[in-house]
């Protein structure tokens, strides 16, 4: 499912990539950028707060680079040096729309925000949520992709941003090996949630390879494979009974079943069974109260 | 300058990677030996160095550098080193009365008005790293060293302001001028916690997201040891190649004139 989200098979919506200090999600973001640029009619706008243009363009597909429009919010995001192309205070629907209008009309416009954490530092979460929602509904943008460092914000803030997303990917390092784990959650148009957990790696050409998946649908798939093989096929013993065998089985009295015959046999011992006779000796000092008196204990 | 660390980081004063932001952090230990290393390293490399010292006086750094074979006084006279004595500057503002407005140094503006942020300090950094461009001796790429940023937390600067400050420094020093940056952050907490809301932890996480290389100095998990002073975790957060988050752990021992680094369990006291 990670690949489906990254390749944008389900068009439109808001895709959120969440990372922590342990594993950066920027490579995944760049990989998304690369695949988006490879689609012919797509124009990609990047609001870059955390990376410079050179750094972002490094490694991206050179042939379609002119369809990538970088809006530099990196060099002066707060207007300190007074030569700012884009400040964080311009993160409003109107200002973003004017940015997008600078380019010729295209069928599909993708807006990449690197990163939402930077903006969240200077705007209240509610404002950002409203802006994102308005961008989604506005129609000027088909897809919004945002990077969010979840460990920089309170859980509630992360949650409210995540609620807006039509798909969100959480990346974390894998405990063994060089890969990383991506937890993908996608909300379909009907509102159904689909979750998946995959191990992936990104190579130098920024293409993502999914190494393995340990997801729930995968596991049930394995089960159906196994059931096709009949485990009762080559047994050394018989599993079924014929009628006569069943009759014989039912006739058999099991040793622990307490039948009437058994009970009477125990209560009325027949002839031939032993009994104990005791005749007290003259020396015997038999005490009725304490029969074990003579024992040397 | 510790040559062993240089070989670990695969760098040397003759050829070092430009545009790198190195974050040094310590937890239950002292990482200032790394600050001294980077100070002498960049001075030897011929870089224009801007040093923000909030923890010690100039004479302290000068004395340590002398042992490492670099003279700070000379470097300052030649204009290679710009040293902000945070202790002195802040004391002027905090204890004695303010001098006239014209003589005020704007670099510690945050002490006069906590709401103003670190813009004054950034302007100081910017003017000192850009100073090399116009005339004077020709120094190499500019480098900013901060020892240490968490002191500002106790002086009342918010985490947000500090992250903005480091962002601006990175945009100017690392990206625009292709220099370098080294910052030290201290953490009080004993254990690293994912959701800890403590300011120093948030600062560390925020800076980690910005930096390209982290050096985390920790105490030994097994407790104090006379022959091993602690361990350093080196983590490359490289951006371009596939090796993201490559980590290596070393133990170290600090000597009078240097530091030796070795793999875990290979201390000469153990073998």
| Rounded CA separation A164/A14 (Å) | 7
User: pLDDT tens, A227-237?
Assistant: 567 777 778 88
Where residue B133 falls among pLDDT bands split at 50, 70, 90? low
Q: Which of B179-183, B195-199, B230-234 has the lowest mean pLDDT?
A: B195-199
What is the structure's pLDDT at B132? 55
| Rounded CA separation B18/B143 (Å) | 10
In DSSP terms, which residues pair with B49 in a beta bridge?
B81, B143
Q: Which residues of B9-41 are buried (b: 16+ CB within 10 A; e: fewer)?
A: bebebeebeebbbbbbbbbebebbbbbbbbbbb
**A34 contacts on B by Cβ (under 8 Å):** none
- Rg over alpha carbons for chain B, rounded to the nearest Å, is 18
Where residue B31 falls among pLDDT bands split at 50, 70, 90? very high
Q: Which residues make Cβ contacts (< 8 Å) with residue B149, sequence separation at least 6?
A: B162, B166, B183, B184, B185, B203, B207
Where residue B238 falls among pLDDT bands split at 50, 70, 90? low
Q: Would the pLDDT of B50 be above 80? A: yes
% pLDDT > 90, chain B: 48
Domains annotated for chain B, with CATH where assigned, are 15-208 (3.40.50.300)
Q: Which residues make Cβ contacts (< 8 Å) with residue A166, sequence separation at least 6?
A: A10, A12, A13, A14, A15, A186, A187
The number of folded domains in chain A is: 1
Closest CB from A55, A59, A152 relative to B202: A152
Where residue B194 falls among pLDDT bands split at 50, 70, 90? low
Q: Mean pLDDT over residues A7-20, rounded?
A: 83
Q: Would the pLDDT of B106 be above 80? A: no
| Rounded CA separation A198/A2 (Å) | 7
**What element of type H or E holds A187?**
strand A180-187
% pLDDT > 70, chain B: 89
Where residue A223 falls among pLDDT bands split at 50, 70, 90? very low
What is the structure's pLDDT at B58? 94
Closest CB from A21, A118, A122 relative to B205: A21
What is the structure's pLDDT at A205? 82
Asked if residues A198 and A181 have their Cβ atoms less than 8 Å apart, the reply is yes
| Rounded CA separation B57/B59 (Å) | 5
| Average pLDDT across chain B, whole number | 86
Sheet holding B259-263, edge to edge: B81-85, B47-53, B140-147, B180-187, B20-27, B213-218, B230-236, B246-254, B259-263
Where residue B137 falls among pLDDT bands split at 50, 70, 90? low
What is the structure's pLDDT at A262? 77
CATH at A102: 3.40.50.300
How far does the CA of residue A116 sit from the closest CA of chain B (Å)?
13
8 Å CB contact of B208 and A50? no
Q: Which of A198-202, A221-225, B44-48, B182-186 has the lowest mean pLDDT?
A: A221-225
Q: Would the pLDDT of B251 be above 90? A: yes
- Domain membership of residue A196 (yes or no) is yes
8 Å CB contact of B245 and A59? no
What is the structure's pLDDT at A177? 64
Q: Mean pLDDT over residues B156-170, rounded?
A: 92
Q: Would the pLDDT of A195 be above 50? A: yes
3-class secondary-structure state, position A292: coil
Query: What domain range includes position A159?
Result: 2-213
What is the structure's pLDDT at A219? 42
Of A223 and B220, which is predicted with more confidence? B220
What is the structure's pLDDT at A253? 81
Where residue B42 falls among pLDDT bands split at 50, 70, 90? very high
Q: Would the pLDDT of B46 be above 70? A: yes
Size of interface A-B (CB pairs under 8 A): 72
- Domain membership of residue A94 (yes or no) is yes
What is the structure's pLDDT at A292? 78
Asked if residues A2 and A153 have their Cβ atoms less than 8 Å apart, the reply is no
Q: Would the pLDDT of B264 be above 60? A: yes
How far does the CA of residue B258 sit from the closest CA of chain A (Å)?
31
Cβ of residue A53 closer than 8 Å to a chain B Cβ: no
In DSSP terms, which residues pair with B211 in a beta bridge?
none
Handedness of CA A103, A109, A114, A116 (dihedral sign): positive
Q: Which of A171-185, B19-33, B44-58 has the lowest mean pLDDT?
A: A171-185
Q: Mean pLDDT over residues B39-66, rounded?
A: 93
- Domain membership of residue A261 (yes or no) is no
Asked if residues B120 and B108 have their Cβ atoms less than 8 Å apart, the reply is yes
Of B58 and A101, which is predicted with more confidence? B58
Closest CB from A21, A80, A202 relative to B168: A80
| Rounded CA separation A147/A115 (Å) | 5
Q: Which of A8-22, A125-139, B72-86 has the lowest mean pLDDT?
A: A8-22
8 Å CB contact of A80 and B119? yes
| Rounded CA separation B222/A241 (Å) | 67
% pLDDT > 90, chain A: 21
- Domain membership of residue A209 (yes or no) is yes
Q: Would the pLDDT of A221 be above 80? A: no
- Domain membership of residue A226 (yes or no) is no
Asked if residues B17 and B240 have their Cβ atoms less than 8 Å apart, the reply is no
Q: Would the pLDDT of B49 be above 60? A: yes
8 Å CB contact of B208 and A54? no
User: pLDDT tens, A271-285?
Assistant: 666 777 888 777 777
User: pLDDT tens, A141-194?
Assistant: 888 999 999 999 999 999 999 999 999 999 988 876 667 889 999 988 888 888
Where residue B144 falls among pLDDT bands split at 50, 70, 90? very high
Closest B-chain CA to A180: B244
Q: Which residues of A113-122 are buried (b: 16+ CB within 10 A; e: fewer)?
A: bbbbbbbbbb
What is the structure's pLDDT at B101? 65
Q: Which of A51-55, A73-77, A107-111, B178-182 has the lowest mean pLDDT?
A: A107-111
Where residue A220 falls among pLDDT bands split at 50, 70, 90? very low
């Amino acid at each position: 499912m990670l690949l489906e989200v990254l390749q944008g098979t389900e068009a439109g919506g808001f895709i959120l990539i969440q990372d922590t200090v342990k594993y950066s999600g920027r490579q995944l973001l760049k990989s998304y950028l690369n695949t988006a640029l490879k689609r012919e009619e797509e124009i990609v706008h990047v609001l870059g707060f955390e990376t410079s243009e050179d750094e972002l363009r490094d490694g991206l597909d050179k042939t379609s680079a002119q369809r990538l429009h970088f809006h530099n919010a990196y060099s002066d995001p707060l207007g300190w040096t007074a030569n700012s192309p884009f400040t964080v205070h311009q993160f409003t629907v109107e200002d973003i729309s004017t940015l997008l209008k600078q380019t010729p009309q295209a069928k599909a416009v993708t807006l990449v925000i690197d990163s939402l954490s930077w903006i969240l530092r200077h705007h209240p979460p509610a404002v950002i949520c409203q802006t994102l929602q308005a961008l989604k509904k506005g129609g000027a943008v088909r897809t919004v992709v945002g990077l969010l460092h979840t460990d920089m914000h309170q859980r509630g803030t992360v949650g409210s941003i995540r609620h807006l997303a039509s798909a969100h990917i959480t990346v974390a390092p894998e405990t063994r090996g060089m890969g990383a784990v991506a937890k993908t959650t996608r909300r379909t148009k009907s509102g159904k949630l689909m979750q998946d957990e995959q191990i992936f790696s990104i190579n130098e050409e920024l293409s993502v390879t999914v190494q393995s998946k340990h997801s729930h649908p995968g596991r049930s798939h394995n089960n159906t494979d196994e059931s096709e093989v009949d485990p009762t096929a080559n047994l050394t013993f018989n599993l079924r009974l014929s009628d006569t065998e069943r009759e014989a089985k039912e006739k058999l009295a099991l040793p622990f079943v307490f039948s009437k015959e058994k009970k009477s046999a125990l209560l009325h011992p027949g002839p031939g069974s032993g009994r104990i006779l005791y005749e007290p000796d003259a020396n015997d000092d038999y005490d009725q109260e304490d029969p074990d008196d003579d024992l040397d204990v | 300058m510790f040559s062993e660390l240089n070989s670990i980081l695969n760098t040397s004063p003759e050829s070092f990677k430009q545009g790198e932001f190195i974050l040094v952090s310590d937890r239950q230990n002292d990482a200032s030996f790394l600050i001294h290393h980077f100070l002498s390293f960049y001075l030897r490399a011929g870089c224009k160095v801007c040093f923000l010292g909030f923890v010690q006086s100039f004479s302290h750094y000068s004395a340590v550098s002398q042992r490492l074979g670099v003279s700070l006084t000379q470097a300052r006279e030649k204009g290679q080193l710009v040293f902000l004595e945070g202790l002195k500057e802040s004391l002027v503002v905090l204890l004695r009365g303010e001098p006239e407005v014209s003589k005020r140094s704007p670099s510690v503006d945050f002490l006069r008005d906590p709401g103003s942020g670190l813009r004054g300090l950034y302007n100081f950094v910017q003017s000192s790293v850009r100073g090399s461009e116009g005339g004077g001796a020709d120094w190499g790429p500019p480098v900013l060293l901060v020892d240490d940023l968490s002191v500002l937390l106790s002086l009342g600067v918010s985490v947000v302001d500090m992250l903005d400050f480091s962002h601006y420094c990175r945009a100017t020093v690392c990206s625009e001028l292709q220099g370098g940056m080294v910052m030290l952050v201290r953490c009080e907490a004993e254990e690293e916690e994912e959701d800890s809301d403590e300011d120093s932890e948030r600062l560390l996480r925020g800076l980690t997201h910005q930096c390209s290389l982290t050096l985390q100095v920790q105490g030994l998990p097994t407790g104090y040891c006379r022959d091993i002073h602690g361990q350093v975790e080196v983590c490359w957060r490289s951006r371009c190649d596939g090796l993201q988050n490559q980590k290596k752990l070393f133990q170290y021992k600090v000597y009078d004139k240097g530091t030796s680094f070795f793999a875990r369990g290979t201390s000469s006291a153990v073998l």
